[in-house]
Structures are given as C-alpha cells and as structure tokens.
Amino acid sequence: MAVFSYLSKLLEALGVSFTLSMEYLLFAGTIFLFFYVWKKRKYWYFKIQQRFPDNKHIIREIKYSFFTVIIFGVVILPVMWASKERLTLVYYPVSKYGYGYYVFSILLMIALHDTYYYWTHRLLHWKKIFRYVHKIHHLSLNPTPFSAYALHPVEALIDVSIIPIIVFTIPYHISAVTIFSAYTLGMNVSGHLGFEFFPSGFTRHKIFKWHNTATHHNMHHRYVKYNFSIYFNFWDRIMKTNHPHYEDTFEGVIEQRRAGAAMADDALDPLKINISLAEQEKVLN
C-alpha cells in the first residue's frame, strides 16, 4: 500500500507539473510565435536588440523551462494539499473578509514577491553562487519569452518558494493566488519578451517611472550588475542599482523604434535593418 501511495503522489506531482508546463508553453509559446514568427516583420522595430537569438539558444531555454516547471509542480503540490487540509491561511468564501481585503491580498502578494525577488536576485549574483546557478539564466543575452523559466534547478526552487511563504503568512482565497500567479507569469514573460512598447518619457514620469519596462530587464541580461527588480523600480532606485544609463537607453530604444517605423512607412523591409550590437551600443548609450 505504501508503494501505491507513493506512486499516486508521484503521479499527482507529475500531473501538476504537466499542467503548469502546458499553461507556460501555451502562454510563452503563443507570445513567441506572434512576435518572433508571425508578426516579426510588423513589430521588428519594437525589438530592443535588433537581432534575433540563434535557434540553439531558444532550444536551450525551452529545455531548462521544462525542468523549472517540474520543480514548480513538486513544490506546489504539497501547498495544494496543505490548503485542502486547512493547514495554511486559506479562507472561504470571499465574503469572509470582503472584496476590499480580497483585492488588497493580491496587491500584498505582488509587493511581497517584488521584495523577495529583488533580494534573492541580488543573492544569486553573489560570485560564489552566480557561476554555478544564476549564470544559466544569463546565457540568454538576448532574451525571449522562453527565457523567463530558463533557470538552474536551484534558482527555480528559490523562485517558487514565494508560494509557500505567501500561503503561510497571508490569509488568502485560492482565486487570489491564481490571479497573483497569472500576473507573475505575465510580467515575467513580458519582461523577457525583448520588445519595448511603453511610450517615450515613461521612465521619467513621476508615477510611471516606478514601474519596470522590458528595456529595464533586457539591460540586466547584458549588464549583470544592474537592474535586479521584477515588477516595480522601487528597490533598484532605493538601493541605487539601476543602470546609470537606464533612462537614456530606454529613450534610445524609443528613438530606434521611431526610426524603424519611419523606414517601414517608406516600404523598407525591417528585417534588412540588422543593426550590429556594437552599432546599437552607440545608439543606446
């Protein structure tokens, strides 16, 4: 019986991992196919780095992503069990604390994760850890949507640990955690998309400057000592870890986008505009 119980739990964990894999591949894959295959000509000039990564790098990202979602499933399964057994701070129904708290709890999860991510990210950049763990993620110098989960197993474990932290410290409704998880996935994939869609002046606006851009994280993949935050630009600004040329680089990307749009209007094929990295550095910096 013990063997059957073990196999049952193993299959359940694999089932959770499979579900997470399908959700991730469906979302990241759809985004990738749209911007990197179907509409790559139309949105080429939105590309931060004006070149596409080699197929071998994309395959590597997908491979590591599979390991990541397996680890996520292994961690999330006992959390699901603990929630069913009411061992966490889960509550039902929503009306128990009201919709005001329901919304607040989601915002609290996001704020908590933003802080958790920044400081664990800084830890992963410690030299004694970086070369063995976080370096895997930074092999994506020109990130794609699949880069989001292209993590070393240790980093994947650290990333997903925010879920157990949340469920044992914050009274939560299951749907609130689902919304938080969807937000996390969306922001993570968009941050690694490699395309910039925010308007000029965004990073200097008194309110919007506190929200990160795709350019912000794209720069982190190239300049590893800067830009550690995920959702908001709060900790990077407070700790002075924003790249010193972040705002100028962002505006350079916008100018590059305008130039590309102008050339597209002149009926030029944007895929023929292949700016080398060295040339791009001159434009952006």
pLDDT of residue 106: 97
CA distance 191 to 209: 15
pLDDT at 283: 36
pLDDT value of residue 73: 85
What pLDDT was estimated at residue 275? 41
In sequence order, the 6+-apart residues with CB closer than 8 A to the CB of 179 are: 106
Q: Pick from 229, 73, 220: which is nearest to 147 by CA?
A: 220
Query: Residue 70's pLDDT is what?
Result: 87
Domain ranges for the chain, please list them.
Answer: 2-284
Do residues 140 and 53 lie in contact, with contact meaning Cβ atoms separated by under 8 Å?
A: yes
- At 267 the pLDDT is 43
**Residues 6 or more apart whose Cβ sits within 8 Å of residue 120:** 158, 159
List, run by run, the mean pLDDT of 10-residue segments along the chain (285 residues). Answer: 56 59 82 91 89 91 92 88 92 95 98 98 96 96 95 97 96 94 93 95 96 97 95 97 96 90 56 44 41
The pLDDT of residue 15: 58
Predicted confidence at residue 21, as pLDDT, reads 67
Distance separating alpha carbons of residues 126 and 131, to the nearest angstrom: 9
